[in-house]
Structure 1
């Protein structure tokens, strides 16, 4: 609807025009009826108006003064003057202010309706024209941005010759002035998998990516730091250039941090920025771009909303404490040490970040931990169906985790649940304690101070209760089992090595070689020397 206002100091004229003109039928909405030019001026400042119908002679501000104001401040508003003065000077001034129609009173509703129809057609034509121009301008702007982005993207990816790059950059009016360059890539944290988005999400993502581009461009332009363009999969790419590489290196966190903060403030949008290394040749830009993309992959480990500069990400994907700590976690799981489990998981997070593992390496390690935990559950003879269901459910959560924190949270929950499973009635008769003790003996039989109290302290159980449980499960006392394992290990060493008797005694937990010889002969029926001579032949 076209919005119009009537301005006349005579109330009967205002009411007559308001009541007798078929506004809606003509495609109009009568938005207001004002008593003078000053009232109309105030209304126009606060509301959208397309047409003003005004008398000339009014107090405070007459119709011509109002027309002058509208001509100067709101030139798009159409003005229709109706006046009782058939004076050339009035008409001349009206022409000066580009008044659309000058009507002499009295004006009939039919005459005014005819004029309003003509004015409405002009307004409709102008709106269509403005819309076409706007679309053409928007299309041109978008096409220019697309061509510009494509030219810069080809440059940083290194997929064209220098001559082709130079020609494309010249076509879009870009001149690179720096002697050193770095590439940064901005990615929206909430939308990383472009292939999984539906049409509506893609449209939303495109708009958000344009916001990122505009904010980044404003900041980089303010810093005189280079060019900004839209990259693949709705990412925004920064081509930073400088003649002072060291200074740019110091400003990286400042520039990237400001981009992240601004986007969070104005759109509540979380982003991660990966930054590649410095290169001094345009032909090497692809290396910096690849490094920036690689840096983004470490968001999984270091967390979202990060500024990740590849050269600052230290570590090596070799074996680290993150792998070794698994043994300690399983030990805590067996003993039901919930606090120990949490401490180990926290330590694992620190070690993984220190080693700079990526998502694939973390997932592989956690899957291995799942497998080891499953084997532990099988050792305690728990229901196979329950074991596998928990494993698959946990593995699905780990693979779907957004970051290291979430993945390790899933693992911690799993470890605690497994620990609880081991503490339930499913290990009736104390199998858990017996098996834990057997494992402990297998690991520590070579320690000469290993005894019943040592194992009970490890299991956090009284010696009398443990002795009863152990004998019921194994059919032997603790010392009988310990001695049997030590004798078996001694036999293996006597058969397969050239170690002296006293050396073997020390390795299997005997501090006194004579006592070892006596114990061995009692258990095997031969002295260690006789046994070795017989077997080594």
Structure 2
């Protein structure tokens, strides 16, 4: 549960911060700001706040105005007022805006903790309630709404989508393999792949699944005979018949249901080797080599120097040279390749922090939002990865020159794609700015609004409601299941947001 504090009085704010940070609950302090205007600015960049603790009398925008804004725009956030004023008019206004609690200063620690516990218990109770419904609903959804991870980690989904795998004895040795096409994969392609794998592997094929979310075909096969050789034959046949590039990643042999998801992750690690070795090949997962360092101190100094000069052209040449080092490509070591990318991003991050004089500027261990498994997996060619890195570097160089111009379109497109893939989860533009794109959050917020025409939080809300309208076409799906599927942990807040945007409730929309 993430908490935002809005309190203009320094010592009162520090006391609230201390209580939140020291409480023995699953809570996190999202931020602490001095007035309602700053709170609104933060909420427009971060959709993952659950609770706002706010004073009433504050400069620029008071607590009741903040509560009204949240009620109108983000009704899923729970508001608790902490004030020194007991006037009835304040309490009446707070009730109009559905404020959860109205606490009078000085607030006792245990009193505030009891309120937070109640909010946490309510949130957890709702989560458990909808989780059961969502799991049941996932069994009825088409593949486009079900991920490979969900299938491999949920026994009910496994029995539905890959029944042969669920009945495999624990002592049978298997491999998982994942196949991708150089172009987007469709249902017809998946049907063809299923037919060919069934013909070539026969009884060894325990099950297969087409995951539209990840644009991949996944299958499980028993480790019998010359399996790898037969998989290579399947890859070559598909390349010719489908007239496109094909790549396949395979896990090491494994046995037992508890190891299925780990084996799948090995496939993704293996398939990433295509960035070094190219397409039309099959890659088997290998344990990390370890000990190979291709990002040298002179590389770091050269890249840092080009950033200091805001010379994006020189930085581009350096990045290209780093990612195409002959010994790195020859090694085929995707872990070393990933480390190279992280080192480039860390250099960019250090420069970004130095621009804004943050103390962490020299901390090379700062968290970077770039996953070895999933972010790297999204790039089918090294040129796409280079362009992604250069979009970040160009924007950083523009910031270094204090040049706020109508650029950043590629980064905005990447953010929109990221939101499209993750709208059902908590999203924070501030976290994306600081850990993924290495930009000043306010700068990125203005850039996003300028390009899209609305704030980040508003865009996410509208996308969730759009997805909800699509799901409501299925009349067997309950309203609370729709709410949970599109990222709302409170059905009443989902209904309020839906009515505000669509002019009717979800049930009324469905019955039109």
TM-score, normalised to structure 1, is: 0.31
Rg larger in structure = 1
TM-score, normalised to structure 2, is: 0.33
Question: Between Structure 1 and Structure 2, which shows a larger proportion of helix residues?
Answer: 1
